[in-house]
Amino acid sequence: MKADFDYIWTDKKRTIFGLPISFTRYFLTEKKFITRKGFFTIEEDEFDLYRVIDKKLVLPFGERLFGCGTVVINVKDADTPVKEVKSIKAPRKLMQLLDEQVEKMRDDYSIRGRDMIQGEPPHGCEHHHDEDDFNA
């Protein structure tokens, strides 16, 4: 089956003994991360890479035995604020590729980390509290 898009990395969710017997597939493209689930009904979920806020690597003992791990990605996205890329081979490679592509997309869109944090005042609009602000 020909892919619908060019990808940098792809893998399947692994099951017992690290075997890719699953109907969940992950794709990393230059601009997006896509999760495709299902067999009869296929559901795809994606987010833009420049929206990645943070990520972490989780290496449970059972997955580590077979060279697998889970990458948890926090994204500034309404329907997918936390994405778990479960039980994949070489999870550190995905972490490295994500770092590279996220930085590339942020550079392309001129976005910095502080632009991704909600609720902070725009640059130059900092307010310094006086003692009177707290006693009012």
CATH 1.10.287.3510 fits 9-109, yes or no: no
Tell me what percent of the residues of the chain surpass a pLDDT of 90.
68
pLDDT in tens, 84-115: 999 999 999 999 999 999 999 999 988 875 55
pLDDT in tens, 54-88: 999 999 999 999 999 999 999 998 888 999 999 99
Return d(Cα 90, Cα 93) in angstroms, integer: 6
Domain boundaries, the chain: 9-109
Element (H, E) at 87: strand 82-89
Q: Is 90 exposed, middle or buried (0-12, 13-18, 19+ CB in 10 A)?
A: middle
Residue 24 identity (one-letter amino acid): T
